[in-house]
Chains A and B, each alone.
Chain A
Amino acid sequence: MTAHNPDETERIGVYVCHCGTNIAGIVNVEEVATWAADELKERGVVIARDYKFMCSSLGQELIEKDIKEEGLTRVVVAACSPHLHEATFRNACGRAGLNPYLCELVSIREQVSWVHTDKVAATEKSKAVLSGGVERVIHHEPLEPLRVPIHPATLVVGGGIAGIQSALEIANAGFPVYLVEREPSIGGHMSQFDKTFPTLDCAACILTPRMVEAGGHPNITLLTYSEVEKVEGYVGNFTVTLRKKARCVIEDLCTGCGICQEKCPKKVIDEIYEAGLGFRKAVYTPFPQAVPKFPVIDKANCTYFQKGTCKACEKFCPTGAIDFNQEDEFLTFQVGNIVLATGYDLFDPRRVSQYGYGRLANVFTSLEFERLTNAAGPTNGNIVLRDGVTTPTAVGIIHCVGSRDRNFNNYCSVICCMQSLKFAHLVHERTGATVYNFYIDMRTAYKEYDEFYQRVMEEGTLFVRGKVAEVTDAARLPGEEGKLIIQVEDTLAGKQRRIPVDMVVLSAAMQPRVDSKEVAKLFGISCSANGWYIEKHPKLDPVATMTEGIFIVGCAQGPKDIPSSVAQGAAASARVLGRIQVGEIALEPVRATVDPDKCSGCRICNNLCPFNAILYHEDKMVTEINPALCQGCGTCVAACPAGAISGTAFSNDQIFAQIEGLLMINFGLDKVAVLG
Chain B
Amino acid sequence: MTENFEPVIIGFTCNWCSYRAADLAGTARVKYPPNVRLIRLMCSGRLDPTFVIKALANGADAVMITGCHPGECHYIEQNYKALRRYLLLRRTLAQMGIEPERVKLVWASAAEGVRLGQEITKLVEEIRQLGPLQWPRLLAGDGHPAEIELAVEEVAA
Contacts and interface: CB of A to CB of B under 8 A. Distances in A.
**A and B held together in a complex:** yes
Interface of A: 81-83, 107, 109-112, 114-118, 121-122, 124-125, 128-129, 132, 521, 524, 526-529, 534, 538, 546, 590, 608, 610-611, 631-635, 637-639, 647, 650, 652, 655-656, 658-660, 662-663, 666-667, 669, 671-676
Contact of A125 (B34, B43, B78, B117): B34
B27 A110 contact: yes
Given A116-B31, A674-B139, 20 more contacts: A110-B26, A114-B26, A125-B34, A526-B76, A538-B110, A538-B111, A608-B78, A610-B78, A633-B74, A633-B78, A635-B43, A637-B48, A647-B42, A659-B51, A662-B37, A663-B8, A663-B58, A669-B6, A674-B135, A675-B58
A638 B47 CA distance: 6
Interface string B1-39: 000001010100000100110110111011111100111
Contacts of B16: 546
Main secondary structure of the interface of B (DSSP, over half): mixed
B38 A111 contact: yes
Contacts of A114: 25-27, 29
25 contacts: A83-B20, A107-B23, A110-B22, A110-B26, A115-B30, A115-B32, A124-B34, A529-B69, A529-B71, A534-B72, A610-B75, A611-B76, A633-B43, A633-B74, A637-B46, A638-B48, A647-B42, A659-B39, A659-B54, A659-B55, A663-B55, A666-B59, A674-B57, A674-B139, A675-B58
Given A112-B34, A116-B34, A660 B41 contact: no
A121 B39 CA distance: 19
B153 to A, nearest CB: 22
B60 interface: yes
A486 B152 CA distance: 58
Interface in B67-90: 68-69, 71-78, 81, 85
Contacts of B111: 538
A662 B10 contact: yes
A20 to B, nearest CB: 15
B122 interface: no
A109 B54 contact: no
B141 interface: no
A109 to B, nearest CB: 6
B52 to A, nearest CB: 9
Contacts of B60: 659, 663
Nearest to A610: B76
Top 10 A-B pairs ranked by shortest CB distance? A110-B26, A634-B46, A635-B45, A675-B57, A633-B43, A114-B26, A633-B75, A638-B48, A671-B59, A610-B76
Contact of B26 (A109, A527, A538, A676): A109
A633 B48 CA distance: 12
A675 B60 CA distance: 12
A647 B78 CA distance: 15
Contacts of B49: 638
Contacts of A610: 75-78
Interface of B: 6, 8, 10, 16, 19-20, 22-23, 25-27, 29-34, 37-43, 45-51, 53-55, 57-60, 68-69, 71-78, 81, 85, 110-111, 117, 135-136, 139
Contacts of A524: 76
Contact of A647 (B39, B46, B57, B68): B46
B58 A660 contact: yes
A115 B25 contact: yes
B18 to A, nearest CB: 12
Contacts of B73: 526
Q: Among the interface residues B10, B39, B85, B110, which one has the most CB atoms of the partner chain A within 10 A? A: B39
Contact of A673 (B32, B59, B139): B59
Nearest to B37: A662
A635 B26 CA distance: 28
Contact of A633 (B42, B54, B110): B42
Contacts of B30: 115
Given A659-B51, A666-B59, A674-B136, A590 B42 contact: yes
B37 A129 contact: yes
A638 B59 contact: no
Nearest to A667: B6
A655 B45 contact: no
A672 B137 CA distance: 12
A521 B76 CA distance: 8
Nearest to B69: A529
A666 B8 contact: yes
B81 A635 contact: yes
A118 B6 CA distance: 13
Nearest to B15: A83
Contacts of A521: 76
B31 A117 contact: yes
B81 A526 contact: no
Given A111-B38, A634-B45, A635-B45, A527 B72 contact: yes
B100 to A, nearest CB: 18
A634 B58 contact: no
A656 B60 CA distance: 13
Contacts of B81: 608, 635, 639
